[in-house]
Amino acid sequence: MTKGVTKENIFETAIRYHLLNLQDSLKHYHQGHICDNDGKALLEGEGENPHANGVYLVYDGDKILDVASERISRKSGIKKTEDVPTIDAFVCRLRDETDPDSVFLYNTEKQKITRVKSEFNNNYEGDLDDLLQNSLPSDFLSTDSSMPVYEVGTKTASAVLMAYALNQRQDKGIKTLIIKRTPYGQLGMGKVAEFGKQGLTREFFFEYAPQHKGQFIDEKNKIIGVLREYGQIKDKPLSESYVSFAPQGEVSYIPTSVALKKAA
């Protein structure tokens, strides 16, 4: 691949990145579950997948470093800016990172990435629990909605608050993106989530679905990929699609409604 990561393909690139996490995790797969290093199935909402790499990314056009740096507590935490001119270079840079506390600022116009290791000043005068409940669907942490969304981890809460704070006075289109290691669903993989001023904009996750009638993202292990997109109201996604990869490698999206009609 030679094309760089842009605003238009950054979420698709995150899906590709997370597919590599899945491939690493499948070395520890047993009967529909990813297991930990002791062979125990990873449980939804508990702990983290030790075989996957998490990501916390803030992205915009060519002003992201200037805009975000205003909120960086320690200027010494702004590390070297690097060119990542291709999708492969972008993915490799993220996968090479060994510090789990790193946050990346990504310039989508010039394909430049900057690692930051610092706290962010995202002061919020309201109730953060209310902001999280307005920003996330009730099933964000657990498929049956049994886990309240205000129990999200620090990194997810920071990503929600960062997107809100950077767009508070004016919606500049700045987004935050995280790849979570906390298991969602039976399989044991975390999800990919993107946030804007109004909270969650889209999410992607893997599911073990042996009864699925359509295309799998991993047919051998009966794993599907699900993409959901959200508007301002989070009770129900605006759309849901099954994700797969075509023979040439491009990502394919089939809306759930269409897939269900084909299976009927």
Q: Which of 244, 165, 233 is nearest to 201 (CA)?
A: 233
Residue 163 has a pLDDT of 93
Is the pLDDT score of 25 beyond 50? yes
- At residue 73 the predicted structure's pLDDT band, cuts being 50, 70 and 90, is confident
- Residue 184: both structure tokens together: 């969602």
CB atoms within 10 A of CB 244: 17
* Separation between Cα atoms, residue 120 and residue 103, nearest integer Å: 10
Residue 151 has a pLDDT of 94
Instruction: Judge whether 139 lies within some domain.
Output: yes
Instruction: Judge whether 133 lies within some domain.
Output: yes
Per the structure, the complete domain to which residue 34 belongs is given by 10-201
Residue 69 has a pLDDT of 77
3-state secondary structure (DSSP) of residue 115: strand
Residue 112 has a pLDDT of 95
| This prediction's pTM | 0.93
Instruction: Judge whether 42 lies within some domain.
Output: yes
Rounded to the nearest 5 degrees, what angle is found at the Cα of 115, between the Cα atoms of 81 and 201? 110
Instruction: Judge whether 221 lies within some domain.
Output: no
Instruction: Judge whether 53 lies within some domain.
Output: yes
Is the pLDDT score of 2 beyond 60? no
Residue 1 has a pLDDT of 43
Is the pLDDT score of 262 beyond 90? no
Instruction: Judge whether 242 lies within some domain.
Output: no
Residue 264 has a pLDDT of 45
Instruction: Judge whether 123 lies within some domain.
Output: yes
* Separation between Cα atoms, residue 61 and residue 112, nearest integer Å: 10
Is the pLDDT score of 178 beyond 60? yes
Number of domains in the chain: 1
Instruction: Judge whether 264 lies within some domain.
Output: no
* Separation between Cα atoms, residue 51 and residue 37, nearest integer Å: 9
The mean pLDDT value of the chain amounts to: 90
Q: Are 31 and 222 in contact (CB under 8 A)?
A: no
Is the pLDDT score of 259 beyond 80? no
Q: Write the pLDDT tens digit of every residue in 83-139.
A: 999 999 999 999 999 998 899 999 999 999 999 987 777 777 788 899 999 999 999
* Separation between Cα atoms, residue 183 and residue 187, nearest integer Å: 7
CB atoms within 10 A of CB 101: 11
- At residue 261 the predicted structure's pLDDT band, cuts being 50, 70 and 90, is low
